[in-house]
């Protein structure tokens, strides 16, 4: 006989998302002992160990990874049932855990979320901004409901759909020697210094492909944020490939110039990423419908 409770499932999902009992307890408004008891009772009833303990953190076990999307689906279906039965209107409520790569999260968050937030003000959006690899990992591990990333994502458990087009541009300080040339060729970039993003960033991966097409590039600096790279380029430390959407302010202010490089392929896609086994409840379906309609 099935006798596990919503509280036990909530404890499981919260610990999976937070990685610790203390933070999970704060999320679901339980004491740590109460949450630990709920989780232990769920493991007993299922006859499965849902987490492995390592260095003070809880990591999903193989069985935990398999059962987590089912627990999430049960909770979301229960919430939908309650709303259908007791709601006096059609207002959508709930939580959307969204991940965005740095370009999207820092420069396109209004385009991504504005229409949805305006239409569904009672939905709480938890936005995580990180590089593409970290967002993909969050979707794979069900810590995020979905992600919006730049670059290619190829994983059998993930499904991608296009959101919008994007492009990188090659940026330089206005007094850089290449900024004064009227017609650039690949050979003009011989032995130039470059500033790149950190590993795991889709912008870094694309920059590496671009630099491979240029003669003898020298990477002199690696930085984790686009704004830091813009500052380094304007200080004359090197060139950089940056998202076009991120450099408009610096170009307008005269701190950066965009070099004309028609011989380089700089276009790319921004995509929505979802897990193939993830249940698409009313909140997730509403978001995907709004974003797809505005993309």
What confidence tens digit (pLDDT) does each residue in 188-224 have?
Answer: 999 999 999 999 999 999 999 999 999 999 999 999 9
pLDDT given for residue 209 in this prediction: 94
pLDDT at residue number 143: 87
The CATH class of the 1-67 domain is: mainly alpha
Residue 28: the pLDDT is 87
**What is the architecture, at CATH level 2, of domain 165-267?**
3-Layer(aba) Sandwich (3.40)
Residue 1 clears pLDDT 60, i.e. is over it: no
For residue 57, the model assigns a pLDDT of: 80
Q: How confident is the model at residue 149 (pLDDT cuts 50, 70, 90)?
A: very high
Range with the poorest average pLDDT among 16-25, 72-81, 222-231 = 72-81
Residues 259/268, Cβ–Cβ less than 8 Å: no
pLDDT at 292: 78
- pLDDT tier at 293 (50, 70, 90 boundaries)? low
Question: What pLDDT sits at residue 294?
Answer: 52
Q: Are 1-67 and 165-267 the same fold in CATH?
A: no
The whole-chain average pLDDT of the chain stands at 90
140 pLDDT exceeds 80?
Answer: yes
pLDDT at 58: 85
213: which 2 tokens?
Answer: 């097409």
Q: What pLDDT does 96 receive?
A: 93
Q: With 70 as the cut, is the pLDDT of residue 71 above it?
A: yes
Q: Taking 80 as the threshold, does the pLDDT of residue 55 lie above it? A: no
C-alpha 227/C-alpha 284 separation (Å) is 31
Cα separation values, 55 from 22, 40, 87, 235, Å: 15, 19, 45, 42
Average pLDDT over residues 121-144: 92
Alpha-carbon distances, residue 188 vs 170, 182, 185, 214, 239 (angstroms):
13, 12, 5, 9, 13
Domain positions in the chain? 1-67, 165-267
Helix runs in the chain, H state only? 6-18, 21-28, 32-46, 62-86, 102-107, 109-119, 132-140, 202-211, 226-234, 244-252, 282-294
Band (pLDDT 50/70/90 cuts) for residue 272 is very high
Q: Which is it for strands 94-101 and 123-130: parallel, antiparallel or unpaired?
A: parallel
pLDDT at 2 over 80: no
Which pLDDT belongs to residue 86? 64
| In the predicted structure, residue 17 carries a pLDDT above the cut 90 | no
pTM of the model: 0.80
93 pLDDT above the threshold of 90: no
- Range with lowest mean pLDDT among 50-64, 105-119, 202-216, 258-272: 50-64
């Amino acid at each position: 006989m099935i006798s596990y409770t919503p509280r036990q499932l909530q404890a499981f999902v919260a610990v999976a998302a937070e990685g610790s009992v203390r933070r999970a307890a704060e999320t679901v408004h339980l004491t740590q002992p109460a949450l630990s008891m709920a989780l232990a009772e769920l493991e007993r009833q299922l006859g499965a160990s849902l987490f492995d303990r390592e260095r003070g953190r809880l990591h999903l076990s193989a069985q935990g990874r398999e059962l987590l999307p089912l627990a999430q689906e049960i909770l979301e279906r229960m919430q939908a049932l309650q709303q259908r039965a007791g709601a006096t209107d059609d207002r959508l409520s709930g939580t959307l855990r969204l991940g965005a790569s740095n370009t999207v999260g820092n420069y396109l968050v209004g385009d991504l979320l504005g229409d949805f937030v305006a239409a569904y003000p009672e939905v709480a959006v938890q936005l995580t901004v990180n590089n593409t690899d970290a967002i993909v990992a969050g979707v794979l591990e069900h810590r995020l409901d979905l992600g919006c990333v730049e670059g290619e994502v190829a994983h059998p458990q993930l499904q991608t759909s296009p959101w919008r087009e994007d492009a990188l541009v090659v940026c330089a300080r206005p007094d850089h020697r290449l900024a004064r040339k009227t017609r650039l060729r690949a050979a003009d970039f011989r032995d130039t210094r470059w500033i790149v993003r950190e590993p795991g960033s889709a912008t870094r991966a694309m920059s590496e492909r671009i630099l491979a097409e240029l003669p003898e590039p020298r990477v002199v600096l690696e930085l984790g944020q686009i704004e830091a790279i813009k500052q380094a380029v304007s200080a004359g430390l090197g060139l950089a490939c940056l998202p076009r959407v991120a450099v408009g302010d610096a170009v307008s202010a005269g701190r950066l110039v965009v070099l004309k490089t028609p011989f380089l392929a700089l276009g790319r896609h921004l995509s929505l990423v979802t897990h193939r086994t993830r249940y698409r409840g009313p909140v997730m379906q509403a978001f995907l419908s709004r974003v797809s309609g505005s993309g």
